[in-house]
Chain A
Amino acid sequence: MGIYWDSIFTAINLIVSFDKKLIEVFFLSFKVTIIALFISCLIGLPLGTFLATQRFKGRSLFIGIINSLMSLPPVVVGLFVYINLSRSGPFGWLGILYTPTAMIIAQIILILPIIAGLTTQIIEDLQENYNDLFISLVTPKVTTIKAYIIDARYSLITVVLAGLAKGVSEVGAVIIVGGNIDHLTRVMTTTIAMETSKGELSLALALGIILLITSITINLIVTYKKYNIKDQYYGR
């Protein structure tokens, strides 16, 4: 049990003393994840809605591919991005390997299928329910797509949270493309992995606790806000 208490005290110490290293790692972690999540939502939400509401040749195959990509192994994604961004790779000229940008790209590849895939499922369910009404009202296509996104907004918040969880907890891909360079690409998950391998278990566990608390807190705040707005809006 000693190690748990040690790590809890270490975590408290790190937080209370505003440990520079911790703050740096903490903010880089969230900067990378939030940017990746934002870009993934920007592409994934309209893409998911489009796939759910439009009928075209190869649609089911496209949805199948996106659903398969939802469970992409992060290490494979890391390797794929590494090969493409390394000097000998097709995008080597960009010179962004071992930078936060490379980490963001890897995270987008991991988060985007989750956002697009889950959005498709949610909007598809809604469409089954609304379809006859929209045909009956002779509603234009753009209005129907808008209506789907508006009416599914609370469920879509959960989709965004799922994307955030994937990004925050990710280690395999970012360690490969980021290289875990101190003061540059070292994030919480890669630090935990490194400290564990060094045998610095209390620091690793302390960081783990901070990561866990931050993740749970964000989820709780967003979920609370979601239901609070919902209740206010519907006057329950």
Chain B
Amino acid sequence: MVGKKNTLMPIKVKKLNFEKGHRKLLSDISCEIKAQGITIILGPNGAGKTLFLKCLHGLISDSISEITFANKSLNKTIRKQQSMVFQSPILLRRSVLKNISFALQQRTKIINKEKILKVLKRVDLLHLVNQNAILLSGGEKQRLCLARAISTLPKVLFLDEATSNLDPYSIQIIEKIIKEVNKYGTKVIAVTHDLLQAKRLANDIIFINKGRICEHTTAKLFFLKPKSKEGKLFMAGKLIV
């Protein structure tokens, strides 16, 4: 990935709609996400941020929309070049090592133990390599999920509130890796509630409320003076869902 152009970018979303039980959860979402930087999706609880992220990654297939990556419709080949870290860590009931090798097996079919150990060292889990993943702490689990996600060298990395409820040490490690992988060409799209984290990481912000994009702007502009009324209320902590 180093120095290479991200061949999955830009991401274009045209009129993304999603309904469940006669309730419109996403309506007419259209945007273009560029290759550079880290994109943070902000919004209040229940705004549709996670749903939007899942639609981008292809986890929800019954949405009505046209999502393209580098002008190609989202398909299995494109999805195989993406990774996602979920809000609640999803880990197999196996050792730390086997959790990563399982993911690698699905993508590259080649398991390089040395590479796995290198990734584990980056997330400070090398000493737990043979430990059952279920026995890890919350922070360790989420770091393992991130290690698994980056071990496949994704071109797009989706993070769904990956640092919520974690201690500052785990947050620091995760943020450092997010910045690193982004520097080496992986597009990072993350959902967070943490405004300070968004300030630390974001290059651009997509602000969602009630299933609609209220604004999509640079992080600098958003934190200086949000354009939308909802954005202003959200920043002031006055947005009621």
A interface residue numbers (CB < 8 A to B):
129-130, 132-133, 135-139, 143, 147, 150-152, 233-236
Contacts and interface: CB of A to CB of B under 8 A. Distances in A.
**CB-CB nearest 5 A-B residue pairs:** A234-B132, A133-B90, A151-B93, A137-B106, A136-B84
A132 B58 CA distance: 10
Interface of B is mostly: mixed
Given A129-B90, A136-B84, A137-B107, A236 B59 contact: no
A196 B208 CA distance: 75
B37 to A, nearest CB: 23
Contacts of B184: none
Nearest to B103: A137
A147 B58 CA distance: 22
Q: Assign chain B's interface to a size class.
A: 20 to 34
Contacts of B59: 132, 135-136
B228 interface: no
A138 B130 contact: no
B134 to A, nearest CB: 8
B124 to A, nearest CB: 18
Nearest to B79: A138
Contacts of A147: 92, 102
Interface of A is mostly: helix
B163 interface: no
Contacts of A136: 57, 59, 79, 82-84
Nearest to A231: B132
A236 B79 contact: no
Given A234-B131, A236-B132, A151 B106 contact: no
Nearest to B145: A133
Interface in B96-115: 102-103, 106-107
B106 A235 contact: no
A184 B237 CA distance: 81
Nearest to B149: A136
Given A132-B59, A137-B103, A234-B95, 19 more contacts: A130-B92, A132-B86, A133-B90, A136-B79, A136-B83, A136-B84, A137-B106, A139-B106, A147-B102, A150-B94, A151-B93, A151-B94, A234-B130, A234-B131, A235-B130, A235-B131, A235-B132, A236-B132, A236-B135
A138 B103 CA distance: 10
13 contacts: A130-B90, A133-B86, A135-B58, A136-B83, A136-B84, A137-B107, A147-B92, A151-B94, A233-B132, A234-B131, A234-B135, A235-B130, A235-B131
Nearest to A230: B132
Contact of B80 (A130, A138, A151, A233): A138
B61 to A, nearest CB: 9
Contacts of B79: 136, 138
Nearest to A155: B93
Contacts of A132: 59, 84, 86, 90
Nearest to B85: A136
A75 B212 CA distance: 63
A14 B80 CA distance: 66
Interface in B5-46: none
Contacts of A129: 90
B131 A151 contact: no
A138 B135 contact: no
B32 to A, nearest CB: 23
A150 B95 CA distance: 13
A206 B90 CA distance: 51
A150 B98 CA distance: 12
B4 interface: no
A137 B91 CA distance: 12
B76 interface: yes
B84 to A, nearest CB: 5
Nearest to B88: A129
Contacts of B132: 233-236
A136 B82 CA distance: 8
A147 B92 CA distance: 8
A228 to B, nearest CB: 14
